[in-house]
Amino acid sequence: MNVDTRETQMNTILNKSFESLIVIRFRYMWLGDFALLCAEFMELLILSWYVLNQTNSPMILGIYAALRFTGTLFSPLFGVIVDRLGKRNIYIFSRICFVILSTIVMVLYITNTISVTYVLIISPFVGLSRSLDMIVRQSVIPSIVGNRLLQNSIALLRTSRDITQIVGPIMGGVLLELLGASFSYLVIVCLYVLALVFVLMIRDIPNDFSKSKESLILNFKQGISYALLHPFLVGILVIAFMVNLTGFPLNNGLMPVIAKDIMKTDAVGLGWMLGMYSAGALCGSLVMGYFSNMKWVGILMVLGALLWHVGIFFIGFVSTLLVAIPLLYLIGIFQSFAMVTMAMLLMSYTSKEMLGRILGLRQLSVYGLPLGLLFSGSIADNFDVTWALYLNGVIGFVILVIAVVIWPSTFKSDLSYQKN
């Protein structure tokens, strides 16, 4: 194979993997997500490290992490609102909320009045903003890229999250160690402002108000009825709940405890652990972006979720960074396989009229994460963090197998049929 042939093949792979970026509105959306998520992961590392050092309690750290996801309780209502109200206005509003909340924390740091109590009070409002932003963001993707590029755009949006999970924690850890929390939060506020600016640059986001006289409660019930009529969707929502309950606590709450108590490292070491975990997730997302029209998505979703939990179980036996980092990289790949395929299937099998409501139910499944964080934090506080890893790995694996047995359509699904 000559050099020209290899170069042509490489260009073909790159063009297919990043095809959605030819749409300029999607570029702005991707860049806005990149800025937002980079700020979010910097913020998570800085505040998690602060709470753990101030309290020395994995349980309180778990409470803090759980409070950041309280917005998921309202996500079905947010889904109805997104379907009925102007998406552009909601998109802008959610980004403004991030700017305001991060500015408050920055002022608390600058005036030296920050406390764990203030952090716990502000966290639920951050969670509300995140849930609203995520639902409206996902609901506008089809109108921005169209059906042909839908799967590729979902994978690419996941890459922005994966890249920022690498960059954000490392930036947060380095800035925190070198320049302190006040300057770090100034960077975070600037990134949130940039995320708002990119949303303002996206033209022609649907902004129509629904003229329906039906109540929000009735619309919510319609979303549930739609899901129940499609057992495949129920199966995906159950799997989504389980991976949030037993999978995501690893990188959303337990990692600082593992870094401090098991690996005996500092904030920089924690940043590298989170960064390598996310590097694996990025690799998985890029692979999924290339194979975006595959016909075995359901199989990959289930296998990815199962192997994810196998990795969580085995990380409990690791006590050195040299072994932990490559294992975290693999876990990140399996996580990405599961989550990207899950989003592809939900977006492909749900009608446009019900998409916001189904995405709201999907976000509600994220409430498994705060429950999992409280469970994991309690186990780590009363026993040891390794026991939390063992239990999450085993419980998650077993229940995922049971879910596939009850809803076998999740394992057999592909993208050959789309209701959109």
42 to 110, 197, 201, 214, 348: CA distances (angstroms): 17, 19, 24, 41, 32
| Residue 197: how many other CB atoms lie within 10 Å | 14
pLDDT(275) > 80: no
| Residue 264, C-beta contacts closer than 8 angstroms, at least 6 positions apart | none
* CB 277 within 8 Å of CB 329: yes
| 27: exposed, middle or buried (Cβ count in 10 Å: 0-12, 13-18, 19+) | middle
| Residue 132, C-beta contacts closer than 8 angstroms, at least 6 positions apart | 71, 78, 90, 93, 94, 97
pLDDT(256) > 80: yes
| Residue 229: how many other CB atoms lie within 10 Å | 9
Give the mean pLDDT of 184-199.
93
Residue type for position 80: V
Give dist(CA 111, CA 96) in Å, integer. Answer: 23
pLDDT(232) > 70: yes
Give the mean pLDDT of 84-88.
74
Between the CA atoms of 259, 263, 268 and 270, what dihedral angle is there, to the nearest 10 degrees? Answer: -30
| DSSP codes, 150-175 | HHHHHHHHHHHHHHHHHHHHHHHHHH
| DSSP codes, 350-389 | S-GGGHHHHHHHHHHGGGHHHHHHHHHHHHHHHT-HHHHH
Q: At what angle do helices 231-242 and 368-382 cross, to 10 degrees?
A: 30
Q: What are phi and psi of 209, to 5 degrees?
A: -95, 130
Ranges 89-103, 165-179, 289-303, most confident: 89-103
Give the mean pLDDT of 212-236.
72
Give dist(CA 325, CA 280) in Å, integer. Answer: 10
Share of the chain above pLDDT 70, in %: 84
Picking from 233, 20, 225, the residue whose alpha carbon sits closest to that of residue 142 is: 20
- The pLDDT assigned to 291 comes to 62
216 to 135, 190, 213, 360: CA distances (angstroms): 16, 36, 9, 13
Give dist(CA 356, CA 361) in Å, integer. Answer: 9
Give dist(CA 39, CA 32) in Å, integer. Answer: 11
What tokens appear for 321 in the block? Answer: 């960074």
* CB 335 within 8 Å of CB 201: no
* CB 270 within 8 Å of CB 49: yes
- The pLDDT assigned to 417 comes to 45
pLDDT(266) > 80: no
Model pLDDT for residues 333-376, shown as the tens digit of each residue: 999 888 888 877 777 777 666 766 777 777 778 778 878 888 88
Give dist(CA 196, CA 199) in Å, integer. Answer: 5
Higher-confidence residue: 85 or 395? 395
Average pLDDT over the chain, rounded to whole? Answer: 81
- The pLDDT assigned to 356 comes to 66
pLDDT(162) > 60: yes
Higher-confidence residue: 23 or 196? 196
Q: How many helices (H) and strands (E) does the chain have?
A: 19, 0
Higher-confidence residue: 315 or 161? 315
pLDDT(217) > 70: no
Domains and CATH numbers, the chain: 21-412 (1.20.1250.20)
* CB 142 within 8 Å of CB 352: yes
| Residue 369: how many other CB atoms lie within 10 Å | 24
pLDDT(320) > 50: yes
| DSSP codes, 1-21 | --HHHHHHHHHHHHHHHTGGG
Higher-confidence residue: 327 or 157? 327
Q: Give the confidence band of 420 by pLDDT, cuts at 50, 70, 90.
A: very low
